[in-house]
Structure 1
Amino acid sequence: MAQKKRWNEFSLVSRWRIVILGIIQLGLQFVALRDLAKRPAADVRGSKSAWAAASFINFVGPLAYLALGRARSTK
């Protein structure tokens, strides 16, 4: 079994990729949770608490909420 790499064993490019992907993940989660908090429950498909929990699944959760969890407004 391969040993886990330590942070200082990654190349500089790999470290930057990890940091950038982490920032994107946190940004998506922030947007999803903020929208979920401000949106009325009637405008959310499913349970707000379930979507909040799903937002912690890397990339998939926030993107799923933003694409599928919000009901289309008829305004």
Structure 2
Amino acid sequence: MTHKRWADLSPAAQSGISILAISQLALAIAAWVDLARRPAEEVRGRKPLWAAAIVVNFVGPIAYFRWGRTGSSEVSGG
């Protein structure tokens, strides 16, 4: 199996990969910020475990937002 280098990809493929990477990073950052600001009582399970799970591509942050939080606490920025 041959591996393509970044320069070998079409501009459309490069754009698609870049958009997916930026989306995944933004989702992970949003999950980590929410986890850091949310009281431990409003998190299902241990916060360090959720912090580690968020690293797992799209699955970790989505799982945290879906199953990791309890209640409807609004986390305000100021």
TM-score range (shorter-chain normalised) is over 0.9
- TM-superposed CA distance for 1:73, in Å, is 3.5
The TM-score normalised by the length of structure 1 is 0.93
Deviations 1:25-75 (A, max 9, x none): 00000000000000000000001000000000000000000111000238x
Match of 2:58 in 1: 59
What are the residue-to-residue correspondences of 1:9-48 with 2, within 5 Å? Answer: 9-48=8-47
Match of 1:49 in 2: 48
- TM-superposed CA distance for 1:4, in Å, is 1.1
Instruction: Give unpaired runs (5+ residues) of structure 2.
Output: 74-78
Identical residues among aligned pairs (%): 49
The TM-score normalised by the length of structure 2 is 0.90
The letter for the 2-side match of 1:8 is A
- 2:12 and 2:5 map into 1 onto residues whose CA distance is 15
- 1:7 and 1:27 map into 2 onto residues whose CA distance is 22
Match of 1:6 in 2: 5
The letter for the 1-side match of 2:39 is P
- 2:21 and 2:41 map into 1 onto residues whose CA distance is 32
The letter for the 2-side match of 1:67 is R
RMSD: 1.1
